[in-house]
A and B are shown apart, each in its own frame.
Chain A
Amino acid sequence: MMTDQTSPQDFRNDRMGKYSHIKGWGIDINPSNDPTYPIKKRNNAEHEGYVWERPQQQEETVEILQSVERPNITAVYGTARPPSGLSGMIRRLAYQYSESSYGRWLPLVLADRIQVAEGILEDFSKGYIPNIPKEIGMKSDWKYNKKAFFTKLTIGALLVAVAVVAVMSPSADKSEKLS
């Protein structure tokens, strides 16, 4: 039998049955006062301790970032995208904070945005040029929302124009001549 790394005794409420010194303990118990009904099927876990025979552990084949609020890696886990690159470094730092901390979540959002750029570089490194207009669904804009289509087209053209001007600017020429 596999068990949790944490001792089951840690979870147990071992005061059960030891309340005789508290005058009136339990005299107003009302089993129907239970806002969890019918969502939660009450069993005796609250008193017996939240322990269970763990499922077999999935073999660790990739890097898994684990919540610091857990004693272990769950028996199964997803392997969609292990952390990598700069975004992965940030994610590793973020997971050092608890789920109740901004230090956990805001860096993860930052890592998500950085990984967008990493994703484009990854595409290029594989010789793939991402078709961003297609990825953002511009075909459906053309079909159902022409105004949005032309707005995005205009913004895209402006961004390309700005990039071209930046590359062709005199300062770029100057630095080229100096070298």
Chain B
Amino acid sequence: MLAMNYRGPHRVRADYDMPYPEILHPQDAIVKVLRSCICGSDLHLYHGLVPDTRVGSTFGHEFIGEIVDVGSAIQNLKTGDRVMVPFNIACGKCAFCRQELYGNCHESNPGATAVGGIFGYSHTAGGYNGGQAEYVRVPYADVGPVVIPEWMHADDAVLLTDVVPTGYQAAEMGGIQPGDTVVVFGAGPIGIMAAKCSWLFGAGRVIIIDHIDYRLEFAEKYAQCEAFNFNSIGDPVVFLKTITDSLGADVCIDAVGCEAAGNAVNTLTGRRMLLQGGSTTALHWAINGVKKGGIVSIVGVYGPIDSLIPIGNVVNKGITIRANQASVKRLLPRLIEHVESGVLDPKGLITHKVPLEEVSDAYHIFSSKLDNCIKAVLIPPSANQ
């Protein structure tokens, strides 16, 4: 079958000789992929920043598709069902799943305890092939996947598998109170969605910071927020204090993660030499830019190696840090309501629809911020049959 094939940093190809997935467990299903996105966090894999990313793997943790085969223990799904598949692989039985921490399942990733299983996200996250393919194996198919409502557009559905829940949970973890000032670092799809969702929690002011002008312009319109380029505001922390009565924001959201720009030392040690779990520049600014007693919410992805952050300031300012992978299954019922009512318009983020055969160019366009790309969706040829 056709699937994306990782060959090394900055090298991926569309490979027609990848093996078809098989049912390996009674709770598996095989899904024929209809849409699959490239996520900003896929770029961390693409850039070679995530340890144990093995050559020959297929990425892709944001996808929807049609059930074409089910294991013997599957009761809630049948062939022909069109489903959105949360990016976290969750058993639904372990203590963490029962606490609705579906992103922290303890029965889906043998290689690490710190992270649950994630589709197409290296052997550090379980060694599963992902959805940037014609077909994909979906474990615990009775637990995570949700049947796509008849009224829902496929482009909305695919963004409900990660982007929308992660952006929403970023705002939720901010503990936003009515009138709060929220600063979001990163104007990628997750940051834009976090800014948009901050309003749903009653924010009084939402500010987004990035260094890519076209993304800031997009965010300003899509999320109705203030947008600033950190290259033109001097020291971002001083700037934030200046526009927030010198005290800082109530809530800061790190929606950038390990590939943050803006600090040469962090870029060198975190992104080039891999001596940190990534560049922590955005997190620095979040910690230093939030008010005393404020909240920093982290959804940006960092590697497992130690990272340098100003922990002394966290203590002295009394900051609460909240972070997690989004618990997609927990959030989906509410988010489906928001899409149905028109409060959220996920598909409005999509700027590029690319045939899966052109996956190399899609990755490069997204990675290099070419052609004003915000969100790229891959469409397998079999999706049109």
A residues sitting closer than 8 Å to B (CB atoms) are 35, 38-43, 45, 50-56, 58-59, 61, 64-67, 69-70, 72-81, 87, 91, 95, 99, 102, 104-106, 108-109, 111-113, 115-116, 118-120, 130-132, 134-141, 143-145, 148
Contacts and interface: CB of A to CB of B under 8 A. Distances in A.
A137 B7 contact: no
A99 B322 contact: no
A133 B300 CA distance: 30
A113 B31 CA distance: 31
B93 A54 contact: yes
5 contacts: A76-B117, A80-B54, A99-B304, A105-B305, A136-B11
B370 A76 contact: no
A45 to B, nearest CB: 5
B55 A81 contact: yes
A37 to B, nearest CB: 9
B12 A135 contact: yes
A6 B322 CA distance: 30
B368 interface: yes
Contacts of A131: 13
Looking at chain A's contact residues, the main secondary structure is loop
Interface stretch (B125-133, B223-231, B250-258): B125-133
B324 A39 contact: yes
A39 B117 contact: no
Nearest to B175: A35
B89 to A, nearest CB: 7
Given A52-B93, A73-B110, A135-B7, A81 B56 contact: yes
Interface of B: 7-13, 24-28, 48, 51-58, 73, 89, 91, 93-95, 98-101, 106-114, 117, 123-124, 126-129, 139-140, 169, 172-173, 274, 303-305, 320, 322, 324, 327, 330, 360-361, 363-365, 367-368, 370-371
Looking at chain B's contact residues, the main secondary structure is loop
A102 B305 contact: yes
A53 to B, nearest CB: 6
Contacts of A141: 364, 368, 370
B354 to A, nearest CB: 10
Contact of A55 (B12, B95, B107): B107
A78 B98 contact: no
Given A78-B127, A80-B57, A39 B107 contact: no
B274 A78 contact: no
Question: Which 6 residue pairs are nearest across A and B when measured between Cβ atoms?
Answer: A137-B364, A78-B128, A78-B127, A116-B8, A108-B51, A81-B54
A144 to B, nearest CB: 4
Nearest to B97: A52
B11 A42 contact: no
Contact of B52 (A74, A108, A134, A140): A108
B363 A79 contact: no
B133 to A, nearest CB: 11
Contacts of A77: 108-110, 117, 126-128
Nearest to B173: A39
B117 A78 contact: yes
A35 B322 contact: yes
Nearest to A40: B99
Contacts of B139: 58, 76
A143 B371 CA distance: 9
A140 B370 contact: yes
Nearest to A123: B7
A123 B172 CA distance: 47
